[in-house]
Amino acid sequence: MMGGRTPEKRCSLKGLKGRVCALWDDMPLMRTFFCYAAGCVAVSVVVSIAIVFSLMLAYAALQSEEWEGRIDVNDVPYIYDEEADELVPAVAIEFDDGNRVTFLGSRSGALTMGAGVNVINAETGAPIGYATMDMVRDDATLRVYDWGGNYTTRDFEIGDPYSPVIIDSADLASYDARERAERLPVDAEIGNLVAGNDDLIVSNIAYFIYRDNLAIETPLMMGLRIASAAAPFIVLGVFSVLFFRRFYRKRLGGPLSVFCDCANRVAAQDLDFTTPAVPGREFARLGEAFEKMRASLEASQRELWRTAEERRRLNAAFAHDLRTPVTVLAGTVEMAQLRAARGEAIGADALETIKTQVIRLERYAQAMSGIARLEDRKVEREIVEAGALAGALRAHAQGLIGAQRPDVALGVDTSGMAPDATLSVDRALVEEVLDNLLGNACTHADSRIALGLALDTAFGMLAVRVADDGPGFSPEALRRGCEAFFGEAKSAEHFGLGLSIVATLARLHGGAVVLENAPSGGAIVTVTIDVAPPEDA
């Protein structure tokens, strides 16, 4: 097998990435902001270190160029040799409390480890050596200061005798002579030690030489040094802006833009969309609430549209069915007017026709009014046991069939009911549905009607099934059977409203109607209604 990730490993990595992304999207705003802030600090630290390191490398290169040919002065005390007009490296020998000091130097450098030029300053790259009077006079960056010590009581009475002021190299000889005379003398034993030794020199005053590195620094070097000090703050500021902009765009601005767009679409009555998922636990919950609101508005809008469309179809059907009686009335009245114009008497048959059509119009109006009121009917549920409801519906069906079609056999099947189940149901509404179903069945059945009751406890739905052994539904009736005023055998007493009423009542009770034909012949109507008890019942 060739190298690389196997399909299983790629799928595993993809799944892990998906889980990490899902966890990130579900993270609360406070934790997300902390992660962004931590990332900003971490990136700023890394970038700052890189920038400062680069700037210091550039500074070191320029510093090396400026220090080329220079010597970094050794920080030992120096004695001024008046005879040679030279500075001699020395060592300090302290006595008593440290105010009494003797400086002992060697013109050959034997006391101070030779010339000292074999050591390199790691910072500047320059050799470290001893200062000379020529260096002090020629190099403006070198400063001469009094080392201090051997002050008299009078010096302390006047004030602090040590004053770290720069000594002019041109006046060093006179300064040295004056201060030697005024300060405490050299210890006698050490003075005797150096007597007659031309290499050693002793003094009660010494100096230290300091190089002012800032005087060597060029404007470019100063700029690099300032930039290296300011770089961390600038980098932190830049990345803070970048990270906060990204946090705002991803976690605040993005979700708010989505909700604003959704709100504008809702305001424009455009509900045909789904609220997009947004990151952040708080905004995700807001998105879920917004989606529920949108779905509720969409359902209400669809219901209003359905009701309006149902009313439109109802009015159209009503207007269509009114044409026949109105036409008959108009023709009868016209004939009556012609007979009256000829002086003939209006016949009883014409008056009977007018009376019949007026009664038919009155019944149409009453049916139309009943359908309109049916849409506004309230479902009044009550908690009942399934066994009790099944028994009541059985008795109701037997009484109705016995009154309308005593010649028809009624079969009732309640085996699909769980007797102990608890139902939330409007009994009057269910009985009205059953009345319409059995009424239609009595009209079309030959000799047998079957009633079946079944309860789906998982979904809380009650199914009422009525079948007859009549001719069954035509293809047109299967498609339009639940429309108001549809009927293939309408009469003055029957307007084709039975199944339309059943469909409306079923919908009010959270159900639906299904029309079908039995394989052996006959019609089957199944009505399902929602009977699930409320959760707090």
pLDDT tens digits, one per residue of 370-400:
555 666 667 788 899 988 888 988 888 888 8
Reported confidence tier of residue 311, pLDDT bands at 50, 70, 90: low
pLDDT of residue 316: 58
pLDDT of residue 459: 83
Lowest mean pLDDT, pick from 130-144, 239-253, 306-320, 499-513? 306-320
Q: Euclidean distance between the first and final Cα of the chain, in Å?
A: 64
Share of the chain above pLDDT 90, in %: 21
Question: Mean pLDDT throughout 441-464?
Answer: 88
pLDDT of residue 486: 61
Helices (H), 250-347: 254-267, 281-341
Question: Mean pLDDT throughout 212-235?
Answer: 90
* Residue 353: φ, ψ to 5°: -65, -45
Residue showing tokens 């060739």: 2
Q: Give the Cα separation of 251 and 244 in Å (integer).
A: 10
Question: Mean pLDDT throughout 500-511?
Answer: 81
Reported confidence tier of residue 177, pLDDT bands at 50, 70, 90: very high
Share of the chain above pLDDT 70, in %: 81
Question: Mean pLDDT throughout 136-153?
Answer: 88
Is pLDDT above 50 for 536? yes
Mean pLDDT comparison of 139-153, 219-233, 337-351, 502-516, highest-scoring range: 219-233
Question: Mean pLDDT throughout 210-229?
Answer: 88
pLDDT of residue 360: 60
Q: Give the Cα separation of 526 and 514 in Å (integer).
A: 5
Reported confidence tier of residue 318, pLDDT bands at 50, 70, 90: low
Helices (H), 26-171: 29-67, 133-138, 153-158
User: How do the domains of the chain map onto residue ranges?
Assistant: 72-215, 377-530
Is pLDDT above 60 for 413? yes
Sign of CA dihedral 389, 395, 397, 400: negative
Phi-psi region of 14 (alpha: psi -120 to 50; beta: other; left: phi over 0): alpha
Question: Mean pLDDT throughout 247-263?
Answer: 90
Kindly give, in sequence order, each residue whose CB lies less than 8 Å from that of residue 453, ignoring residues fewer than 6 positions away. 390, 393, 412, 413, 414, 416, 417, 462, 463, 464, 465
Sign of CA dihedral 69, 220, 213, 138: positive
Is pLDDT above 90 for 172? yes
pLDDT of residue 112: 66
Is pLDDT above 70 for 448? yes
Instruction: Give me the count of residues in the chain.
Output: 537
pLDDT of residue 494: 46
Contact 141, 215 (CB under 8 A): yes
Question: Mean pLDDT throughout 97-106?
Answer: 80
Contact 168, 176 (CB under 8 A): no
Reported confidence tier of residue 98, pLDDT bands at 50, 70, 90: low
The CATH code of the domain at 377-530 is 3.30.565.10
Is pLDDT above 90 for 402? no
Q: Give the Cα separation of 302 and 311 in Å (integer).
A: 14
Tell me, what amino acid is at 413? D
Reported confidence tier of residue 467, pLDDT bands at 50, 70, 90: very high
Question: Mean pLDDT throughout 507-531?
Answer: 87
Q: What is the pLDDT of residues 347-371, one digit of tens each?
A: 677 666 676 666 666 655 655 555 5
Reported confidence tier of residue 36, pLDDT bands at 50, 70, 90: very high
Is pLDDT above 50 for 492? no
pLDDT of residue 367: 56
Q: Give the Cα separation of 462 and 484 in Å (integer).
A: 24
Contact 103, 114 (CB under 8 A): no
* Residue 106: φ, ψ to 5°: -130, 125
Question: Mean pLDDT throughout 149-163?
Answer: 80
Angle among Cα 391, 396, 398 to the nearest 5 degrees reads: 95
Q: Give the Cα separation of 200 and 106 in Å (integer).
A: 5
Tell how strand 72-73 and strand 127-129 pair up: parallel
Question: Mean pLDDT throughout 4-31?
Answer: 74
Q: Give the Cα separation of 401 and 414 in Å (integer).
A: 17
Query: For the whole prediction, is pTM greater than 0.85?
Result: no
Helix (H), strand (E) at residue 525? strand 523-530
Burial class (CB in 10 A: 0-12, 13-18, 19+), 303: exposed
Contact 105, 190 (CB under 8 A): no
206 or 361, which is more confident: 206
Reported confidence tier of residue 53, pLDDT bands at 50, 70, 90: very high
| SS3 of residue 203 by DSSP | strand
